Amino acid sequence: MHVRVTGVVIEDDHILLLNQDTGSGRAWSLPGGKVEEGESLSAALVREMREETAIEVAVGRLLYVCDYLPGAIHVVHVTFEAKRTGGTVGDVTEGADTRPIRGVEFVKLADLPGLGFTEKFGQLAMAGFPGAGSYMGAKSNIGL
């Protein structure tokens, strides 16, 4: 089993996303990644946000926990709200991620469906993630 953390940073009705091949057919994704052995969830999120977006964050409330079962590997996704505390968006070190990052930007929440996110995920984001802190079951239950 793998544990993966992701961060949701929303500022002025815009959400921070990575333009990066996800392996799911969608080119845009939430920043985050694998929790390393001996690393806390919050430390992993702070590290991943720095590596992938070049910003520093304060980890906020737990938004959701869900499962992804693509085959033989069980991935537990833990997603937190995060607040930017420093850094410059997109000033990313090349090679810091296993999948090349083509861009990092704040995108209008209303534009999420046009970037491959489901209507459901867009609605959850626009509503402030009702039910935050819940186990959501399959990743598809949150529209991802």
At 99 the pLDDT is 72
Residue 92 has pLDDT above 80, yes or no: no
Domains along the sequence of the chain with CATH:
2-86+99-136 (3.90.79.10)
With 0-12 CB in 10 A as exposed, 13-18 as middle and 19+ as buried, what is 111?
Answer: middle
The answer to whether 142 and 120 have CB atoms below 8 angstroms apart is: yes
Q: Could you give the CA distance from residue 49 to residue 36 in angstroms, rounded to a whole number?
A: 14
- Judged against a pLDDT cut of 70, whether residue 104 lies above it is answered with yes
Location of structure tokens 């990313």: 92
For position 143, what pLDDT does the model report?
A: 84
Please check the confidence at residue 22 and state whether its pLDDT lies above 90.
no
Relative to beta strand 2-8, strand 75-87 is parallel
pTM reported for the whole predicted model:
0.91
